Amino acid sequence: MLKNIQEWTLLLTVFGVVTLIGNWIGYDIFSFDAILGMIVLIVISLLGFITQKLVPINIPSVAYIAIYGVLISMPWTPGSEVIVAWTSEIQLLALTTPILAYAGIAIGRSWTDFMKLGWRTIVVASFVLLGTVLGSALIAEVVLRMQGII
């Protein structure tokens, strides 16, 4: 467990450094607050991984991480303004760029398998995504209108 926490911390730090540099180049944000914001995100992630290991129920760690993030930043939590100020220095898109860079490198390995699957997969996949987006958006539209939110 301790060895795991050490590895997670190191990897999250590597990822955090790459993100902070991307955040600087792409979004012109380079501040001490951004570094503090990244540390907050790393600590939240670590707590999520640890909780997943400790709780015997099989729930993915990302579920805990997102909930911790919400709990620490909701208006009812004392000091949440500071957390929000620090973490808002990290752009969402600055995090997704390195994720997809690593994903591209990982996907290269199964590229030939994918190419063998043929064009039908691409057609069906397009309609799968279209179906879920349109289905969800239509229901959301009706309910949000009934509630008077939009």
Partner 1 sequence: MEQAEVRDVWKDWRLHVTVLLIVIGAELVGSHEFAVGPGVVILLPMLYAIIIGIMLYFTPVISEKQSEKSEPLIVLGVALLLAKIGVIIGPDLPEIIAAGPALLLQELGNVGTVLIALPIAMLLGLRRETVGMTHSVAREPNVGLIMDKFGFSSPEGRGVMAMYIFGTVFGAIFMGLLAGLLATITPIHPLSFAMASGIGSASMMAAASGSLISLFPEMEGQIAAYAGASNLLSLSTGLYVSIFIALPLTEKLYKWFSKKKHKDEVT
For residues 93-112, which are near partner 1 according to CB under 8 A?
A: 93-111
Q: How far is the CB of 136 from partner 1 (least distance, A)?
A: 3
Q: Which position among 18, 29, 35, 36 is part of the footprint of partner 1 (CB under 8 A)?
A: 18
Q: How far is the CB of 51 from partner 1 (least distance, A)?
A: 12
- Within 26-85, which residues bind partner 1 (CB under 8 A)? 26-27, 40-42, 44-45, 48-49, 60-63, 65-75, 77, 80, 83-84
Question: In the chain, count of helices (H) and strands (E)?
Answer: 7, 0
- Within 105-144, which residues bind partner 1 (CB under 8 A)? 105-111, 113-114, 117, 120-141, 143-144
Q: Rounded to an integer, what distance in angstroms lies between the CA atom of residue 123 and that of residue 126?
A: 5
Give 9's Cβ-side CA count (13 Å radius). 10
Q: From residue 7, give the alpha-carbon distance in Å to each of 16, 113, 135.
A: 14, 32, 41
Strand ranges for the chain from DSSP E: none
89 binds partner 1 (CB under 8 A): no
